[in-house]
Amino acid sequence: GAGVSQSPRYKVAKRGQDVALRCDPISGHVSLFWYQQALGQGPEFLTYFQNEAQLDKSGLPSDRFFAERPEGSVSTLKIQRTQQEDSAVYLCASSLRSGRSTGELFFGEGSRLTVL
Amino acid sequence: AQSVAQPEDQVNVAEGNPLTVKCTYSVSGNPYLFWYVQYPNRGLQFLLKYITGDNLVKGSYGFEAEFNKSQTSFHLKKPSALVSDSALYFCAVSADNYGQNFVFGPGTRLSVLP
């Protein structure tokens, strides 16, 4: 497809379960971002990749959160031992080059995680 | 630390009237400023950006924004609102000394009434 694709779109997990969220960025996009968007709030930065290198993971809220992009394209955000406070929409965005230099991030529709 | 404020949770405007969605920011260093729009059940879409140059920038769908350094503001404007402009609008900021992170504001819901 032409846009950023995220799966699953909706995920319900029981507290303590592990979840994996997938992001397929636009082909050729170097930069990839993960954001967390709680209900009624703006997106909060989680982590940033340039190709396969994770250059910034300062936004990951705990060591239960892990992200990877092993071949510089598809990325997976993994959350271990999910807690209720992890319930949010997880947004993936990609950019052709450095996101800031172009200013334009292309966002997927998000994965809505609900932890019961 | 960088921050973005959008002082209005909700803005209501009649169709055909001008609209303004406010944004103020705080950064150390030169700011890079952006507006994104989010329609229901859709991803965020880029509207416009200010990097350098003219303080008035024009973007998609007839929107424009004015960078005001002294007031640290970047308000979004449109001369004549359409019902289809109703959506959630996010202001975002980045800076040279803040890696690649974009900091988003909390969002403003715009409702254009027919």
What pLDDT shows up at residue A102?
Answer: 60
Nearest residue of chain A to residue B6 (CA atoms): A42
Place A4 in a pLDDT band, splitting at 50, 70 and 90.
very high
What pLDDT shows up at residue A40?
Answer: 85
In this complex, the residue of B34, B51, B90 whose CB is nearest that of residue A42 is: B90
**Token pair for B12:** 């209501």
Contacts of B54 (CB under 8 A, 6+ apart): none
In this complex, the residue of A99, A104, A107 whose CB is nearest that of residue B100 is: A99
Nearest residue of chain A to residue B44 (CA atoms): A107
Q: Which residues of B touch A10 (CB under 8 A)?
A: none
Is B46 close to A106, i.e. CB distance below 8 A?
yes
What pLDDT shows up at residue A100?
Answer: 57
Task: List, for residues B61-82, the tens digit of each pLDDT value.
Answer: 999 999 999 999 999 999 999 9
In this complex, the residue of A58, A91, A100 whose CB is nearest that of residue B94 is: A100
* Higher per-residue pLDDT: B31 or A9: A9
User: Is 80 exceeded by the pLDDT of residue A98?
Assistant: no
Closest CA to A109 of A30, A1, A15: A1
Handedness of CA A85, A104, A4, B99 (dihedral sign): negative
What pLDDT shows up at residue A1?
Answer: 54
What pLDDT shows up at residue B81?
Answer: 97
Q: Are A98 and B100 in contact (CB under 8 A)?
A: yes
In this complex, the residue of A42, A55, A105 whose CB is nearest that of residue B46 is: A105
Place B96 in a pLDDT band, splitting at 50, 70 and 90.
low
Q: What is the mean pLDDT of chain A?
A: 92
A53–chain B nearest CA distance, Å: 13
Contacts of A96 (CB under 8 A, 6+ apart): A26, A28, A29, A30, A31, A102
B18–chain A nearest CA distance, Å: 25
User: Is 80 exceeded by the pLDDT of residue A108?
Assistant: yes
Task: List, for residues A44-89, the tens digit of each pLDDT value.
Answer: 999 999 999 999 899 999 999 999 999 999 999 999 999 999 999 9
